[in-house]
Amino acid sequence: MQTKPRVFVTRKLPAAVEARLERDYRPILNAQDKLYSTAETIAGAAGCDALLPCPTDKIDADAVAKLPASIRVIATFSVGYEHIDVNACKTRGIVVGNTPGVLTDATADIAMLLLLGAARGASNGEQTIRTNTWSIWGPTSMLGTHMTGKRLGIYGMGRIGQAVAKRARAFDMTIHYHNRTRLPAGEEQGAIFHAKAEEMLPHCDFLSINAPSSPETNGFLNARRIAMLPDGAIVVNTARGPLVDDEALIAALNSGKLAAAGLDVYTGEPNINPAYRSAKNAFLLPHLGSATVETRNAMGFRALDNLDAFFAGKPLPSRVA
């Protein structure tokens, strides 16, 4: 009988995913959910055939070079794979898979929560209840910004961007978008394409950032582009922190150039720029985009589908390198 492949798993995974791992592989699990250093991951993976990391693990070129020679495949528990140097993996002949598709709806739902939460001052409102400082209903108190019928710009019209657009149409929003390539008309569904992001920005009462992190997209929302947004615009980010220049966004929130922002992702998370905490017009969530039981199970199963395919000598359902 062939021995089951050995998999080093860097984080504690949902029970159903770990059960499937135990059934089909010889996994090394992380019951305490300890956050391993890169050196600990490299050491822990000794003698393993596969690595199952998360976005919290940095697997840069140096780490790839130091991975045990036995590692032939990396199946990340995430759609984003900027934490892995895929070129270094290609050079070493390590196959890499990710989990696209299964977290589209959960992430688009969080984008809607951020849009509404930022527009309506949800966290301030909730604070008044929790701190028992709600005096009484008032015609001019705690006024937010209307969302229904406004213009939404989407930066990055991939799966998640399109799912945000679909939800926003139910709010009668007019959709503008910028994407590297224009979508076919059937997928555009009336959304207005802008070949340059700068052309789109003046049309955004709301802006949703949905592009992956890359050298081209990082730093996208900087002071120059914020200035192109209408005064009082609202920005939400469910993609990756580095797409936003934190200092520029915080300055725009404090000056009132932007009415509000809703953020689920941050540079350096969980150690976010502390100025966000005191920006009352920022609605802040701790990277909850894919955090539903259903979605986290589906992500784990997709990572295992990638491993199953690899060890069966078949193409990975979601291969990035």
Q: Which residues contact 208 (CB under 8 A, 6 or more apart)?
A: 111, 115, 152, 153, 154, 155, 161, 164, 236, 237, 238
Place of tokens 């739902």: 109
Binding segment for ligand DGY (CB under 6 A), chosen from 74-82, 132-140, 163-171, 274-282, is 74-82
Residues numbered 36 to 55 that lie near ligand DGY (CB under 6 A) are 55
| Site residues (CB under 6 A) for ligand DGY, limited to 94-113 | 103
> Which residue lies nearer to ligand DGY by CB, 33 or 198?
33
Count of H helices and E strands in the chain?
13, 12
Q: Taking contact as CB under 6 A, which single stretch among the options 73-81, 186-194, 278-286, 304-312 is the one that binds ligand DGY?
A: 73-81
* 130 tagged catalytic: no
Please confirm, yes or no, whether 146 is among the known catalytic residues.
Answer: no
Q: How far is the CB of 243 from ligand DGY (least distance, A)?
A: 12
Among this protein's residues, is 151 annotated catalytic?
A: no
**Spatial distance between the Cα atoms of 232 and 156, rounded to a whole number of angstroms:** 22
Compare residues 162 and 281 and give the one whose CB is closer to ligand DGY: 162
Q: Yes or no: say if 45 and 68 are a contact pair by the CB < 8 Å rule.
A: yes
CB 161, min distance to ligand DGY, A? 15
Beta-bridge partners for 236: 208, 262
Count, residues near ligand DGY per rule CB under 6 A: 7
Strand order in the sheet with 192-193: 192-193, 174-178, 151-155, 206-209, 233-237, 258-263, 282-284
The arrangement of strands across the sheet holding 50-52 comes to 26-28, 6-9, 50-52, 73-75, 95-97
Kindly tell me which residue out of 123, 162, 213, 290 binds ligand DGY, with binding defined by CB under 6 A. 290
Nearer to ligand DGY, 53 or 121 (CB): 53
Residues that bind ligand DGY (CB under 6 A): 55, 78-80, 103, 289-290
Active-site annotation, residues: 240, 269, 287
